[in-house]
Copies of this chain bind each other. A is one copy, B any other.
Amino acid sequence: MLTTAWTRRHVISLADFLPEDYDTILQTAASFSEVLTRRNKKVPTLQGQVVTNLFFEPSTRTRSSFELAAKRLSADTLNFSPGSSSLSKGETILDTAKTYLAMGTDIMVIRHKQAGVPQAIANEMERLGTNVRVLNAGDGQHEHPSQALLDLYTICSLLDPKNPRVDLLQGQKIAIVGDILHSRVARSNIWSLTAAGAEVHLAGPPTLLPQHFKEYAQASQQNELELERKLYVHWQLEPALENADFVMTLRLQHERMAQHLLPSLREYHQRFGITRDRLKLCKPHVKVLHPGPVNRGVELNSDLMDDPELSLIPQQVSNGVAVRMALLYLLGGGR
Chain A's interface size range is 35 or more
Q: Is A254's CB under 8 angstroms from B76's CB?
A: no
In the bound complex, do residue A321 and residue B59 qualify as a contact, i.e. CB atoms below 8 Å apart?
no
Stretch at the interface among A89-97, A187-195, A206-214: A89-97
**Contacts A68-B76, A68-B104 hold; do A58 and B81 have CB atoms under 8 A apart?**
no
Task: Check if A65 sits within 8 Å of B103, measured CB to CB.
Answer: yes
Q: Mask for A294-335, Cβ within 8 A of B = 1, else 0?
A: 111000000000000000011111101100000000000000
Task: Contact check, A103 vs B317: say whether CB atoms are below 8 A apart.
Answer: yes
Check if B78 sits within 8 Å of A68, measured CB to CB. yes
The answer to whether A99 and B317 have CB atoms under 8 Å apart is yes
- By beta carbon, the residue of chain B nearest A62 is B86
Is residue A1 within 8 Å, beta carbon to beta carbon, of the partner chain? no
Confirm or deny: A171 has a beta carbon within 8 angstroms of a beta carbon on chain B. no
Kindly state the separation between the CA atoms of A59 and B81 in the bound complex, as whole angstroms: 11
Bound form: Cα–Cα A81–B83 in Å: 12
A-B contact pairs, 15 of them (CB 8 A): A39-B48, A58-B84, A60-B80, A61-B86, A81-B84, A83-B84, A86-B293, A89-B293, A95-B296, A98-B314, A99-B293, A101-B314, A102-B315, A103-B318, A103-B321
A61-B85, A64-B80 are known; give 14 further A-B pairs, CB within 8 A: A38-B48, A39-B48, A40-B47, A42-B47, A58-B83, A58-B84, A60-B84, A64-B100, A89-B293, A95-B294, A99-B292, A102-B313, A102-B316, A103-B321
